[in-house]
Structure 1
Amino acid sequence: MTEHARVVVIGGGVVGCSCLYHLAALGIKDALLLERDELTSGSTWHAAGNLPTFSASWSILKLQKYSAALYRKLAASAENPINYHLTGSVRLAHGRNRMDEFHHVKSMAKANGLEYEILSPSDLKDRYPLVETHDLQGALWDPLDGDIDPSQLTQALAREARLLGGTIRRHTRVTALAQKPNGEWLVTTDKGEIT
């Protein structure tokens, strides 16, 4: 039996479930996620779960800002126990070039509505008395860095995607992909075909 889906997402890790969630949030109701085993059974289950917002790339900084806001939204629901912790982080600069990078990133972050703080060695020592500062040029404090449970995040994204109309099929192995002459894709699984 052949079924149809407008979009087929292959893989039920955090990236696949995020794709399905965002497709469903855009109103694409006939999106289907296929997972060969259980959600998070691939690399997601042993990911570290670090969530930096620091980046010298404009695009990555915007993506990380968006992600942090999404995680706060998901964590606000008791239905999504994702263990999201805003711990903040301090990045150390041993040289002038690194301090220049911190100033550059701080200005990019500010333009994106994020507030980082540049710390002198003495500021750093005041906050963290055990830090050795004799060889430091300074530091950067990022209050939005944190961590999350990747498996729980994946389950929360899957839950929200389902609520928005997305469909997830576990234990469905993709065995072949082929583009038909009309441009449509044929996804062959161990349970049938999807166009």
Structure 2
Amino acid sequence: MIDSSVATSIAHAESRGRRLACARGCAACCRSHADIPVYPLELMGLYWFVLERLQGRLRTQVAQQLAHWRTLPGCPFLVDEACAVHPVRPMACRLFNVFDRACAEGEDAFHTRPGDVLVPEQAAKREALLLLLAGQGVADEVTREELVTTGAVHRLAQNLRALPWENLAARMRDSELRQAAAHAQKGEDER
């Protein structure tokens, strides 16, 4: 929903002569944005994706970064100037798009040139927030609507750059140890 809304908004801006500056390898916002809101359901998706889908060198790199995230200059999921969790990145990351020229290192275009930042379609953002609340167990439609309308839903969000990512690194390590033990047991059982 958000992705299709963003794609439509970008296409509309491009039809009016704007050019999307964001592209793979441009990760200035991943380093400069200090406050990236992430909702509980998004956080669950990040954990799931990292634990179940990341493999090989990328998994190893992310695990190292998560373990030492407090020393990183940017998002702990930024690897080789690309988002390691791109399929499950937070809504805030999906919505942040800049037109015409890439951000300078350290620049937050939201503050320096807001006219070049995509303005999200509010109806799609509202619908995504309602779905997030439903996914988080807020069953009552009236309550969901009230939480979104009043902005109270945003109190559920946490700052991605302030979460204790070392906990996820520990879970990754534990998961790998369990897998290795299971593999060793399977080898013993086959003998």
The two structures share one fold, judged by TM-score above 0.5:
no
The two structures have a TM-score, normalised by structure 1, of 0.26
Larger Rg: 1
Q: Which has the higher strand share?
A: 1
